[in-house]
Amino acid sequence: MFVDRKEELDILEKKFMEKQFHFFPIYGRRRVGKTELIKQFIKDKKAIYFLATSGSKRENIERFKEAAKEIIDISFVTESWREIFEYLSKHLEEKTIIVIDEFPYLVETEKGLSSIFQYIVDMYLSNTNNFLILCGSSLGMMYKEVLGYRAPLYGRRTGQLEISPLSFKESAGFFKDKKIREKIEIYSICGGVPAYLKEFMENKNIFTLIKEKILSKGSPLLEEIPFILRQEFREPKTYMSILSAISLGNRNLGKIVNYCGFQSKTGIMPYLYNLENLGYIKRELPVTEKPRSKRGLYFISDNYFDFWFKFIRRNMSLIEIDIRKAL
Ligand SMILES: Nc1ncnc2c1ncn2[C@@H]1O[C@H](COP(=O)(O)OP(=O)(O)O)[C@@H](O)[C@H]1O
Ligand SMILES: [Mg+2]
């Protein structure tokens, strides 16, 4: 089952029709549906889909070769991304989509990897008609390596797609048979994140679903937030404490600083900025304030983050999960 994403698919299809080379970074928070979208896009097209992992460089290259096998034999090419892509650029006969999913993992396997890919794009791919997709969930890493103006790959992209959570109307596509009230209840817990919405598809009442899908020990949704924070940030505990502060109703900067034990307002700003940038919190300013003002009020903007901090974290001991272990 695949819900909507028509706009995103249209953009990709349109670019795919063009004869030139394309390089598309695709990014968005974990579980939002990037991989699913890419799979829909490459279905029925000539494509190499490769999912990078945190293993070694060699292991990743071996798996890339394996992933390419149906399209082209590159088993004999040396263990270097440059040589692999040089070979691909010369020997791929038809227009081919090359996907590296979770590119940030690959970045960690080799020093200067993004610069290597910059070279690959400039020297080998840009004169072909192939279509390169670098996808990533770690937004911090995607900015640093691909999107930001200091990134080696900056200026090479011919387009980009940020994948956002689905709207309420789109989310309802998961629950054709449910009543409107149930759709609203589920959306208010999950927001428009497909991976969470999917868990609630069964035809059971909302309390049963919450109990089964969130509150049972070991269920993925129960430990989802610590998992995301751990993946995204180097100091997950600090972020956990800031989000807790906000969810407890500490909305202004001074209160959040106090709750989290920061020495100063300046010290906490980069953390708040990151959380806001990733779409997990939002800041609302009185209309009379300048945008850079420190007087805004902070709210958790992601529905599931909000739900988790309000109802799960505060009752951790009842659910018997150990938050310190989860981080
Ligand atoms: N548009 C969609 N329609 C139906 N299911 C979806 C959709 N997008 C994602 N999913 C499901 O949600 C889960 C997470 O999606 P995935 O593509 O793996 O997210 P990401 O790659 O962004 O982390 C998967 O189980 C996937 O099948
Ligand atoms: Mg994915």
Report pLDDT digits (tens) over 13-35. 999 999 999 999 999 988 999 99
Query: Does residue 293 carry a pLDDT above 80?
Result: no
Other C-beta atoms closer than 10 Å to the C-beta of 193 total 21
In a shared domain, residues 132 and 235: no
- For the chain, report the end-to-end CA distance as a whole number of angstroms: 33
Phi, psi of 278 (to 5 degrees): -85, 0
pLDDT confidence of residue 320: 62
| 262 domain-assigned | yes
Query: Does residue 120 carry a pLDDT above 80?
Result: yes
pLDDT confidence of residue 268: 94
Query: Does residue 307 carry a pLDDT above 60?
Result: yes
Q: What is the mean pLDDT of residues 164-191?
A: 95
In a shared domain, residues 230 and 199: no
Is the CB–ligand 1 distance for residue 29 below 6 Å? no
SS3 80: coil
In a shared domain, residues 197 and 317: no
CATH number of the domain that residue 17 is part of: 3.40.50.300
Cα–Cα dist 258/87, whole Å: 57
Average pLDDT, the chain: 92
Query: What is the tally of structural domains in the chain?
Result: 3
Query: Does residue 262 carry a pLDDT above 80?
Result: yes
pLDDT confidence of residue 316: 73
Last residue of a domain, one of 138, 162, 186: 162
pLDDT confidence of residue 1: 84
Query: Does residue 290 carry a pLDDT above 90?
Result: no
Instruction: Tell me which of 182 and 278 has the higher pLDDT.
Output: 182
pLDDT confidence of residue 323: 54
Domain of 302?
224-326
| Helical ranges in 76-142 per DSSP H | 81-91, 103-107, 113-119, 139-142
Report pLDDT digits (tens) over 70-101. 999 999 999 899 999 999 999 999 999 999 99
pLDDT confidence of residue 239: 96
| 29 domain-assigned | yes
In a shared domain, residues 190 and 254: no
In a shared domain, residues 131 and 186: no
In a shared domain, residues 195 and 231: no
pLDDT confidence of residue 326: 55
Mutational test site, ligand 1, from 4, 30, 31, 51, max ligand atoms within 8 Å of CB: 31
SS3 97: strand
pLDDT confidence of residue 289: 78
| 74 domain-assigned | yes
In a shared domain, residues 309 and 263: yes
In a shared domain, residues 189 and 291: no
Is the CB–ligand 1 distance for residue 65 below 6 Å? no
Is the CB–ligand 1 distance for residue 144 below 6 Å? no
| 1 domain-assigned | no
**Residue 28 alpha carbon, nearest atom of ligand 1:** 22
Question: HEC states along 263-290?
Answer: CCHHHHHHHHHHHHHCCCEEEECCCCCC
In a shared domain, residues 261 and 201: no
In a shared domain, residues 48 and 138: yes
Taking alpha carbons only, the member of 246, 248, 291, 247 closest to residue 272 is: 246
Q: What is the mean pLDDT of residues 110-114?
A: 95
In a shared domain, residues 139 and 254: no
Q: What is the mean pLDDT of residues 146-164?
A: 93
In a shared domain, residues 153 and 121: yes
Report pLDDT digits (tens) over 203-226. 999 999 998 999 888 888 998 999
DSSP string, 133-166: EEEES-HHHHIIIIISTTSTTTTT-S--EEPPPP
